[in-house]
Amino acid sequence: MDMPKRPPPADRLEHARQLLDGGEPTLDALAQAVGIGASQLQRRFRARFGLSPAQYLAQRKLGRLKAALRDGGGVSAALYDAGYGSPSRVYEAGAARLGMTPARYRAGGAGETLRWSLVDTALGLALVAATSRGVCMVELGEDAAALEAKLRHEFPHARHQRVDAGRDEFLAPRVQAIARRLAGGESAVAVDLVGTAFQKKVWDALMRIPAGQTRSYAQLAAQLGQPAAARAVASACAHNRLAVVVPCHRVIRSDGSLGGYRWGLPLKQQLLERERAA
């Protein structure tokens, strides 16, 4: 039997990605299909896409699960349709990946409590929201309704408990700590980072950049051992929900220009100048 025609070298990683989109090949089978050694494929795939083939496949499955749950299908059917061999496979890690169990995710966060408050800060109006694990969102803006809409977008049926000015024993110290951080001060803040494994690695690295210093996207990618993943680093920065607390403003382009910033380049410039002056 003739072997399938292998793609030209420039297309092999993309072909590997397409094979992962359509099935669940082992690393050895994937390497054989695209004509690259398994260890080389693992290394080059991670550099190109920011994830190993196994991590990429896991994220694809999780994405299919989320879509099936949001479409209103039964939890068991959604699990099997997404490619999980048994419910225990996703329940074991589901809370960490979804932020809650699949059944609660399907219900739009029903049963989860997010406590949140609006507060005037040195950077303007901010929405601070927290789960029982820590602060999960620090969103900046000018319109209170728009800020609340952003909070409700991911988990529309969660129990959203607004606390005026953060006045309760749980949220008050967290809101106060965030306000100090937004004003340029130091304060310890427990956070609840919800994202992919790669995003969390980027966000953790961001929080280790000293105030007053910057890193380029390429430098951060190299620091993570994935020098070709600068675009993936930029994407992780763009998906950061914790303004200033996870300091994505400290990442710039290799040429020294600011690059992008979720909350606007003027604010990014302001934050960098404030930290340098301090």
CA–CA separation, 7 and 19 (whole Å): 12
State the residue for tokens 């929201």.
129
List 41, 78, 123, 248, catalytic entry: 248
203-232 pLDDT tens trace: 999 999 999 999 999 999 999 988 888 989
Give CA angle at 92 (137, 16), nearest 5°: 85
Please give the helix or strand (H or E) that residue 179 lies within, else none.
helix 171-182
256 C-beta neighbours (distance < 10 Å), count? 9
CA–CA separation, 196 and 55 (whole Å): 9
Domains of the chain, start order = 9-96 (1.10.10.60), 113-182 (3.30.160.70), 197-277 (1.10.10.10)
Which two structure tokens, joined as six digits, stand for 95?
A: 């809370």
For residue 255, give the amino acid letter. Answer: D
Residue 153: per-residue pLDDT: 82
State the residue for tokens 């209170």.
144
Return the closest-CA partner of residue 108 out of 70, 64, 160, 147. 70
Q: Is the per-residue pLDDT at 47 higher than 60?
A: yes
The answer to whether 248 is a known catalytic residue is yes
89-99 pLDDT tens trace: 444 444 444 44
- The model's pTM is 0.62
Q: Is the per-residue pLDDT at 76 higher than 70?
A: no
Residue 94: per-residue pLDDT: 45
